Structure 1
Amino acid sequence: MRYSKTETYDRKERSQSDKERLRALLNLGLGIFGLSFATGIQGTIYTNFLVEDIGIEAHQLGVLESIREIPGLLTAFILGALLRLAEPFLAGASLILVSLGFGAYYFVRGLPDLIAFSFLWSLGLHCWMPLRSSMILELSEPSSEGKRLGQMNSVGFAAATASMSMVFLASTWLSMSFRSLFLVAASMALLGSLATFMVPGKSQRIEKPRLIIRRKYWLYYGLSLLDGCRRQIFTTFAVLAMVQAFGAPVGHIALLMLFNNIVGFMAASHIGRLVDRIGERSSLLISYGGAIPIFLGYALVPDITILYILYIIDSFLFIFNSIALVTYINYSAPLEDLIPSLAMGQTVNHLAAVTFPIVGGILWSILGYDKTFFMGAFATIILALMALGIPKGRLHKP
């Protein structure tokens, strides 16, 4: 079969464009790998570090987590002021902040140091997240956004799996200190920033408003708000319950995180394709409907083995809403609204993330840890009801 000169040129141009897209995705994937390796170390040892090294109590953890989440409230304003810069540059700079914050944990002596350094890496991480989502969406083929988000999530899970394995070996065989492990995390975040700087990018070619709050996105804002409640209650207090209430050692937590990330690595790309196929409404209902009995299990079940299993299931379900919320706003908002809307969604998400750790810590200290998880179950029920407001089936770009 022969092609005309015009057709041949178009095919070459598309081929070149596809190569550039894949090269950009590879560099972005390396950036995600570096950051995920770093946060995998941090997530595995963080609670044990706080309890065993710093001696933190539940109410102090609530205060720490709330202050740490303040940068999430500021994301829309920070990125709104900087959006004329290239997204890869902003993302790479964000990972440098993460690296500095993790590395500074080596010098922590008490709660004030912990709060300051946690705020630093949190600022970088929260600026990174909407930029990451936007870059993936921009590099995705039409109608394959969920697939690409899932693939990048798989990269993150693979990196986290490798880091969990390293933590397990380092803590059980090499007796490596928590503080030294944070230096390793800082190094990996720095490598991730270098890879991200290599993603092709220009200063913004379209005029983007600095701050967006639109009535037509109210459902996205509402879902983001309560999703912050659901996420923060579980990520803050589920591991704390296993460590403090049931005495789980760091080796067990590392193995739990390792297995959890293996499951995520195997499932994320498939879940992304499933979101593309069944749509955002069904995906969110699967996630939120499944999370309700998990919260109730943490409140009522005294068997730590069952709690380990529930933790893995919740992390599996969380992949659905982490992808579906991004694709929902992608199909709801025009291109010029996308990054500001993602940033605003993260900001309202953190209204809950800043508030509920304090409330959960107070409930834990006064009434017992089960009340904290009952609160999470209630918030997730409301989330499931709100998700019914999303149109059925596959959404399309306006």
Structure 2
Amino acid sequence: MGGLVFSLDDRPPKALCMKQPIPIAQAAEFALWRRPVFLLFLMAFAMPIAFNTWSALLNNFVIEVAGFTGVEIGWLHTVREIPGFLAVGVIALMMLMREQILGLVALLLLGVATALTAYFPSFGGILTLTMLSSIGFHYYETVNQSLQLQWIDKARAPQVIGWLMAAGSAASLLAYGVLVLTWKAFDLSYTLVYMVGGGVTAVIAIYALIAFPQFESPNPQLKKFILRRRYWLYYALQFMAGARRQIFVVFAAFMMVEKFGFDVHQVTSLFMINFVINMIVAPLMGRLVSARGERFVLLLEYAGLIIVFLAYGGLYWLGWGVVVASVLYVVDHMLFGLAFALKTYFQKIADPQDIAPTAAVAFTINHIAAVFLPAALGYLWIVSPSGVFILAAAMACVSFGLGLLIPRHPEKGYETILTGRVRRTIKSRL
């Protein structure tokens, strides 16, 4: 098949498969609230409540309570990304339980770890809880992306994934909205907010484990470590996306607190603006992918990110104020939303049985740079914050060059425009 395959193949033990699996084709007979797509929407809603509660408070919590500098925040995010680098472990866990169960257990872990975060305000305690919540988050995300591509038809995938993004934005908006309205008004503590945010996600995960049947995907997934040569462009784009995204996730919000002195409610308000826009724009992004293709949308993302990251540097070179910084942050967040086109690109070129193992491999590739980059850039940040953003702009340039290789209509056997040229060359010689 043109790749490396290491077998871990086996069916999940019956002890962890108590419910009789239901084929996806028969799911339409169930009430709407017990169908696969409803479960996807429920998970899409549940995860951001814990994750964004953690994110909204993080920079203020670690600066005000734990006294973090750029060095410590860099190490924290390095630790946070280690489980993402080890996402291939999902393949082994698939031997013990079905993907659906694994995803919900991971979601439960995310909720519980988030709920306990403020009880351990030391450097070691924060890193430990961050590691646990990160295991939950990254393993959930790996399985969630796999289930989306298995359960949603290719023709409808861009639109449905766009609506799933909108549902996640709605949950984030709810979490941030409650924070903005109550943080100062009721003088809330970090302990209470983390407990409520994580607890809600944990309760939803438990409900989903009990209420939904186990769904059987139409194409049984290989429980193997897979690297295929024909997926090389997808791997490369995932690597660059992971490296570039770390700069946004780690340092853009940190800049708003460190440079402009944002308080919790101000950071939260900025996040709320992001998610209001995403609720409106995400379904439109899905339509754009369907109409213009993954190539156009990804090139649009990469070109926009080049401009935004260079402008971040301008905040330090030219002394631009907080309004410009806030606008850039919102645009930055919106552009990263276009990255779901990379999912549908892979869905079009993949063998159906490769989706689950490749989702795990892709998550690991996405997090290779994430393991060392935040800590390394934490030291660069102390010397030159603008240099961090210039590096991100250079990464976006590389992504743009790779994006030019995506065909207008990718499919299995036509994964890159180079594949088409090779095919035409071979035919001309015959």
1:149 corresponds to:
161
Aligned pair in 2 of structure 1 residues 221, 16: CA closer, same or farther (>3 Å)? Answer: closer
Letter in structure 2 aligned against 1:363: L
The superposition leaves residues 34-68 of structure 1 with CA deviations (integer Å, 9 ceiling, x where unpaired) of: 21122221121111111111110101111111011
CA distance in 2, matches of 1:42, 1:50: 11
- 2:111–2:133 Cα contact (<8 Å) kept: yes
1:291-330 equivalences under 5 Å are 291-301=305-315, 302-321=320-339, 323-330=340-347
2:13 corresponds to:
none
**How far off its partner does 1:194 sit?**
2.5
CA distance in 2, matches of 1:265, 1:229: 26
CA distance in 2, matches of 1:159, 1:32: 8
**How far off its partner does 1:166 sit?**
0.7
Of the candidates 206, 211, 217, which is equivalent to residue 220 of structure 2?
206
1:184 corresponds to:
196
1:56 corresponds to:
68
2:281 corresponds to:
267
| DSSP 3-state at the match of 2:183 | helix
- 1:333–1:397 Cα contact (<8 Å) kept: yes
1:135 aligns with 2:147: yes
2:28 corresponds to:
18
Letter in structure 2 aligned against 1:312: V
CA distance in 1, matches of 2:350, 2:261: 46
1:105 corresponds to:
117
CA distance in 1, matches of 2:24, 2:374: 49
CA distance in 2, matches of 1:46, 1:207: 37
1:346-365 equivalences under 5 Å are 346-365=363-382
- 2:82–2:371 Cα contact (<8 Å) kept: yes
**How far off its partner does 1:337 sit?**
0.7
1:83 aligns with 2:101: no
1:368 corresponds to:
384
CA distance in 2, matches of 1:213, 1:395: 19
**How far off its partner does 1:89 sit?**
0.4
Taking structure 2 as the reference length, what is the TM-score of the superposition? 0.85
1:40 corresponds to:
52
Of the candidates 300, 314, 335, which is equivalent to residue 286 of structure 1?
300
1:257 corresponds to:
271
1:193 aligns with 2:205: yes
Percent identity of paired positions between Structure 1 and Structure 2: 28
**How far off its partner does 1:21 sit?**
9.2
The superposition leaves residues 106-156 of structure 1 with CA deviations (integer Å, 9 ceiling, x where unpaired) of: 311311011111000100110111211222222323411111111111000
The superposition leaves residues 219-245 of structure 1 with CA deviations (integer Å, 9 ceiling, x where unpaired) of: 111111110111110110001111001
Letter in structure 2 aligned against 1:201: Q
1:385 aligns with 2:398: no
| DSSP 3-state at the match of 1:69 | helix
1:340 aligns with 2:353: no
1:395 corresponds to:
410
- 1:360–1:372 Cα contact (<8 Å) kept: yes
CA distance in 2, matches of 1:331, 1:265: 26
The superposition leaves residues 304-347 of structure 1 with CA deviations (integer Å, 9 ceiling, x where unpaired) of: 111111111111111111x1111111111111111111111110
Aligned pair in 2 of structure 1 residues 231, 182: CA closer, same or farther (>3 Å)? Answer: same
Letter in structure 2 aligned against 1:200: P
CA distance in 1, matches of 2:273, 2:204: 23
Unaligned runs of 5+ in 1: 1-12
**How far off its partner does 1:187 sit?**
0.9
**How far off its partner does 1:17 sit?**
4.5
- 1:137–1:145 Cα contact (<8 Å) kept: yes
CA distance in 2, matches of 1:297, 1:14: 47
Aligned pair in 2 of structure 1 residues 355, 181: CA closer, same or farther (>3 Å)? Answer: same
Taking structure 1 as the reference length, what is the TM-score of the superposition? 0.91
- 1:88–1:199 Cα contact (<8 Å) kept: no
The superposition leaves residues 146-203 of structure 1 with CA deviations (integer Å, 9 ceiling, x where unpaired) of: 1111111100000000100011122121110122111011112212313442443257
**How far off its partner does 1:207 sit?**
5.4
- Of 272-281 and 113-122, deviating more is 272-281
| DSSP 3-state at the match of 1:96 | helix
- 2:154–2:347 Cα contact (<8 Å) kept: no
Letter in structure 1 aligned against 2:251: F
| DSSP 3-state at the match of 1:212 | strand
**How far off its partner does 1:356 sit?**
1.4
Count of aligned pairs between the two proteins: 382
1:70 aligns with 2:82: yes
CA distance in 1, matches of 2:149, 2:397: 29
CA distance in 2, matches of 1:351, 1:15: 37
The superposition leaves residues 79-98 of structure 1 with CA deviations (integer Å, 9 ceiling, x where unpaired) of: 11022422210011001110
CA distance in 1, matches of 2:376, 2:347: 32
| DSSP 3-state at the match of 1:306 | helix
**How far off its partner does 1:376 sit?**
0.7
| DSSP 3-state at the match of 1:389 | coil
CA distance in 2, matches of 1:297, 1:196: 43
**How far off its partner does 1:396 sit?**
3.8
